[in-house]
Every structure is written in C-alpha cells, then in structure tokens.
Structure 1
Amino acid sequence: MSSDPETTEMRQERMGLIARARPERLAALMPDLAPHDWLRAPEVGAVMVRGRIGAAGGAFNLGEMTVTRCALRLADGSVGHGYVQGRDKAHATRAALIDALMQGPRAARIAAEVLAPLRAEEAARRSARAEKAAATKVEFFTMVRGEDA
C-alpha cells in the first residue's frame, strides 16, 4: 500500500482528471496494461444528467449521457474502478487500472508519469479557454447625465 493516505477528495480529483483526459493521450502515456482480473468487464450504459436553473432553482432531468464503466483487480489485490463519458472501453479500462495502481507501490511512478502530464495539459487547456473568453469580455459603465442628478 501507499505510505500516504489518500483522501476521498484526492481520489475524486484524480478520477475526474482521468475521465476528462483525451483517450488517445491517456493511451500514449500508459500504453501497457497491467495484468488484471475483471470484476466487471467494461460495459456501456446511460446515466441521467440533472440540471439546475440559477442558484436556488429546483433540479430537473436534463437528459441522458452515455457512459462506460468497469471494475478490475490486480494481482496484489488492489481494486480499481473506471467511469468515463462515451463508449470507449479502453479508456474505462485505463481509468480503472490507474485507480488500482494508485493504491499500491507504483503510485508515485503513475502520479509522475501519467497524472502530472495530464494535470499540466488540462491546466493549459483551461487557461487558453479563459484567455479566449476574456478577450471577448465587454465592459459596461454608466455615465451620470445632467437630468439624473
């Protein structure tokens, strides 16, 4: 097991990062799949996406989204789960493998070789998107007119 205890928030952040990663990039960073046994082979299904209007609005069913999920166990007994948007079974498998590997002695290596580049690329994408949005920002101001005084 890893020497540092992982919090639920850390695992959620990591699983979200892997799920948002581009499948081809994840495959390039992690081309070899560790031997494993399936607890739940990759399967495609749908989940209901809920939305909310405004901060105080009631939740409503927005629509369905296709997801792929799987669960596996490594030889050391570590169990990993993967949930990704879409129908990519290989992406879900890699997500589950990373989840399982992060619970064992290879966690530091996976964090450095796979997760760190994904975090950097995601931060760059978000920054570029924010810069693009900031370029279209319009500043409105009101001038005081004589009759308003």
Structure 2
Amino acid sequence: MAEEITDTERRRAWMSLLAKAPEADLLALWSAYDDAPEFDWLRAPEAGGVMVRARLGGTGAPFNMGEMTVTRCSVALRDGTVGHAYVQGRSKPKAEAAALIDALMQTDAAAGVQGRILAPLGNLVADRAQARAAKAAATKVDFFTMVRGENA
C-alpha cells in the first residue's frame, strides 16, 4: 500500500525545485504567469552566505565543506498567506518569484501554478539532467580483465 504524501513533503518538493532551478527558466515561466498577486514584504530579498555541511562517505563524520551564497525573502499575500524562499545565488527577482509561488501554492491557485509553472519547470530541470547524464555516459570507459589461458 502506498503511503500518503504529506503537505510538508509536497511543500518541501516544490521549494527544492524553486531553490535549485535555473534563474532564467524560473523567471521566464513566472513572467508568463498573468495572475501575479498583490503582496507585502515580510522580508525583502537579501543575499547572504550559508555553510554547506557534508559527511565523509555520506554516513561518516560531518564536516564543513564550504560556503554558498543564497538569497532569501518572505512575502504575505493580501489574504494573509505567507510564502518564503531561499534560492541559490544572488538573484533578488528569483527569490521574489519563488516566495510568491510558494505562497500561491498554499492557496486555491495551487493547481494553476502547478500546471503553468512547477510542472514545466520540473520537466526542464529533468531534461537538462538527463542530457547531462547522457553526455557523461558517452565518455564512460569500461575496464575489464580478460582471463588468460594459464589462469583458467
């Protein structure tokens, strides 16, 4: 039996997509969305740094891998719905769009935003990842050992 996906998991998925998506793709889809809502800033976009942590071998001791630049912001729609965004890089327009999309995904407009912005954005990201994987696979070298007659 399949487990239900919680609202938190759904939100985590769309916020992850918005955070990692290429700026040009996100802004192109957002600018084509003609139902942009009125909003108030809770936190205007601001750039800063965060420490990226990793683990040795994926499961070992944690260590600080380095810093990464992020831009964050928070908005409140006129109906009181709050949207947040943390996006890679220094793009204030991308952070604003991501926060507004997050807020809209919590309203009745969610189906339209999903169909017109998130689904196409997910497809673009997946297509690029697949193309990158295919390009890398073309350079793969398989090493093998032939069994010599005296070792048989």
Q: Same fold (TM over 0.5)?
A: yes
How many angstroms does 1:29 deviate by? 1.3
Q: Aligned in 2, Cα 1:137/1:26: closer, same or farther, shift over 3 Å? A: same
Q: Return the match for 1:116 from 104, 119, 142.
A: 119
User: Quick one: distance in 1 between partners of 2:135 and 2:103?
Assistant: 37
Give the SS at the match of 1:84. Answer: strand
User: Quick one: distance in 2 between partners of 1:103 and 1:55?
Assistant: 34
> Letter of the aligned partner of 2:57 in structure 1?
G
User: Quick one: distance in 2 between partners of 1:88 and 1:55?
Assistant: 30
> Letter of the aligned partner of 1:21 in structure 2?
A
Give the SS at the match of 1:126. Answer: helix
How many angstroms does 1:139 deviate by? 1.4
Residue in 1 that maps onto 2:20: 20
| Unaligned 5+ runs, structure 1 | none
Give the SS at the match of 1:139. Answer: coil
Give the SS at the match of 2:58. Answer: coil
How many angstroms does 1:53 deviate by? 2.7
> Letter of the aligned partner of 1:23 in structure 2?
E
User: Quick one: distance in 2 between partners of 1:148 and 1:58?
Assistant: 43
Give the SS at the match of 2:14. Answer: helix
User: Quick one: distance in 2 between partners of 1:10 and 1:123?
Assistant: 18
**Same amino acid, percent of matched pairs:** 59
* Runs of 4+ that moved beyond 4 A: none
User: Quick one: distance in 2 between partners of 1:55 and 1:68?
Assistant: 27
Q: TM-score, normalised by structure 2?
A: 0.87
Q: How many residues align?
A: 145
Q: Aligned in 2, Cα 1:50/1:29: closer, same or farther, shift over 3 Å? A: same
